[in-house]
A and B are shown apart, each in its own frame.
Chain A
Amino acid sequence: MTTATPARTPRTPRTPRTPRTARPVPGGPALAAVLKAEGRLFLREPGSLFWILGFPTALLVILGLIPSFRESNPDLGGRRVIDLYVPVAVLLGMIMASIQAMPPVLSSYRERGILRRMSTTPVRPLAILGAQIALHGAAMIVSALIAITTGRLAFGVALPFSRPGYVLTMLLMTGCALALGATLAAIAATTKAATAIGSVAFILMMFTSGVWLPVQAMPDLLRTVVGLTPFGAAAQALDQAMLGTWPNWSYLGIMALWAAGLTGAASRWFRWE
């Protein structure tokens, strides 16, 4: 028990009560309690945990087991296919968390009246949404670390952590993906709708991040168009960072614009009931 439940003397009936205006609203401890409770609930969703944390790396490993993908490919400037798929796995974890996992949770909290229930307490229901968003963001980062580490250990793919452009792109894209998931939860009236809209968005985002065909291998025109989408821009930026150059500001700018626009859309359209 870390939450504040001081032992209180039993209340005697009809005692005159002292005004409670002097006490501040429990900000920090209350928010920490919400985060803790939601964190436990997050860990009780084995399906979400597998798709976010396990699946991207599993796909990476399967692709890495194909011998030709581990050989240097002149069409890719001498790089191997597996080198291109580590950033894809990083983005795939983000797609799983933001589009598959998070919107149905947020919608169901609205649908079940959990947000309304919280609005009758001193803590605003934004706290519970914020906790879920933060947890999914953290899961994205963990998923990325698992994929990157596996790529290094199993297939000798270079670690990107010495490259600030890579880290910056990852963080920016995490924010962008969370905003995208929040927007889906905002526009979907029901949990069912959130899942349905999510499935369509899911296919699109998988394609633009290069799951089926790495963005670098796409024809020029397609690559340009895909580069305007958040996951397409992120795929390009991560690739540039891996090649040792600073990502184009246009890609970073596209991600920042999407992040800002989607955050605005989510906060404007989100309905609390």
Chain B
Amino acid sequence: MPPRPDPRDAPVMQRTTPLIEVTDLRKAYAGRPAVDGVSFTVEEGEIFGILGPNGAGKTTTVECVEGLRVPDSGTVRVAGLDPVTDREEVTRLLGSQLQESELQPKILVREALELYAALYPNPADWRALAERLGLVDKLATRFAKLSGGQKQRLSIALALIGNPRAVVLDELTTGLDPRARRDTWKLIEDVRDSGVTVLLVTHFMEEAQRLCDRIAVIDKGRVAAMDSPAGLIRRSAGSTVITFVPSRPLDNADLVALPEVATVDHKGDQVTLTGTDATVNAVITLLAQKRVTARQLRVVDATLDDAFLDLTEEHESATPGRAA
């Protein structure tokens, strides 16, 4: 994977105190640990993703950040404040969009915006927010009559209405059609660009890869890995996938001996290798040496999907289908 000059990849370590700091967080329900020692920090101005399979403890983690749940142990700080004991101050700094949370069915969009604006000491101008989120046509519509995408846009508006320093967005795009999902991604980027830090909970790889500056992969209540999306992909065993059909069979030993090759797989005539850029060059050299031509040669960068499967695999031993 060639290192791309993405500013989002730049380390953010030189900044001073993180805006959100979670240290060794633990929370169990009825003796069953949901979050089992999670630590991460979110720096001001970034989109930080919490990625994981369903039931991994993502929502419980952010609910502790929002002050909706009291941790069993560990500490949570938002701008240095404890969300449980300094609840009022934290609610003014942190906007929230909750998973599966609705509004009163008959409340009009305008009324909801007015109401939530009135709950904060320094509210944003709700009209400007409605315009930014494309809700102007819907101001006189009841909540129950909004489409899924419109409801989510309203929930983003309400999360932003207190002029927060950070917003927590939990499974924002679940249940949206692909188009609405893409529109929502654009909005999240706009939010970050306006200077608001975003803590994004998702189980969509594509979403995390596209939006997040850094990601904590959570699996079974623990952080399996934390890095930029590109970093996570680089970290996984085979970050580049090479497939081709050789004009005549190649000796498997030659393939396995290639530099930095992670896996070799034969499916009929087709050969699939995973490795790095170095492997790509070596394959081309090998083919030239052996005077073998390759048909249907494809070189594909591994996606976050692959990295994610690798990371969660380490936890639960091998999953079939990715054997060498």
Contact = CB atoms under 8 A, between A and B. Distances in A.
A30 B118 contact: yes
Contact of B106 (A3, A44, A121): A44
Interface string A55-92: 00000000000000000000000000000000000000
A40 B111 CA distance: 9
Interface string B101-116: 1111111000110111
Interface in B66-101: 66-68, 88-89, 91-96, 98, 100-101
A15 interface: yes
B90 to A, nearest CB: 9
B120 A26 contact: yes
A122 B96 contact: no
Interface string A1-45: 101110110111111010011011110011011101110110011
A145 to B, nearest CB: 26
A20 B92 contact: yes
A44 B145 CA distance: 15
Given A11-B194, A20-B122, A116-B98, A41 B104 contact: yes
B114 A122 contact: no
B111 A121 contact: no
A112 interface: yes
Contacts of A114: 101-104
A50 B280 CA distance: 76
Contact of B195 (A13, A21, A38, A123): A13
B102 A15 contact: no
Interface stretch (B26-34, B123-131, B207-215): B123-131
Main secondary structure of the interface of A (DSSP, over half): loop
A23 B118 CA distance: 14
A121 B162 contact: yes
A122 B101 CA distance: 17
B107 A37 contact: yes
Given A23-B121, A41-B107, A121 B98 contact: no
B49 interface: no
A55 to B, nearest CB: 21
B8 to A, nearest CB: 15
A121 to B, nearest CB: 4
Contacts of B126: 5
A11 B123 CA distance: 12
A224 interface: no
Interface residues of A, number: 43
Contacts of B122: 20, 23
Nearest to B123: A5
B142 to A, nearest CB: 9
A199 interface: no
Given A4-B123, A5-B123, A120-B98, A21 B118 contact: no
Contact of A8 (B98, B100, B115, B124): B124
A5 B115 contact: no
Contacts of B200: none
A121 B116 contact: yes
Contacts of A21: 89
Nearest to A24: B121
A34 B120 contact: no
Contacts of B194: 11, 13
A117 interface: yes
B101 A113 contact: yes
A34 B104 CA distance: 12
A119 interface: yes
A113 B104 contact: no
Contacts of B121: 20, 23-26, 122
Contacts of A40: 107, 111
Interface string B188-218: 0000011100000000000000000000000
B149 interface: no
A180 B166 CA distance: 41
A220 B124 CA distance: 65
Contact of A5 (B100, B112, B125, B195): B125
Contact of B98 (A11, A41, A113, A123): A113
B115 A34 contact: yes
Contact of A11 (B114, B119, B195): B195
Contact of B88 (A25, A29, A33): A25
Nearest to A123: B119
A23 B162 CA distance: 13
B45 interface: yes
B286 to A, nearest CB: 51
Interface of A: 1, 3-5, 7-8, 10-15, 17, 20-21, 23-26, 29-30, 32-34, 36-38, 40-41, 44-45, 109, 112-114, 116-123
Given A33-B119, A44-B106, A116-B98, 18 more contacts: A3-B115, A4-B123, A5-B114, A5-B125, A13-B194, A23-B121, A25-B88, A33-B118, A34-B118, A37-B115, A40-B107, A41-B104, A41-B106, A117-B101, A120-B95, A122-B88, A122-B91, A122-B162
Closest 5 pairs between A and B when the two form their complex, measured CB to CB: A33-B118, A113-B101, A120-B96, A23-B121, A3-B118
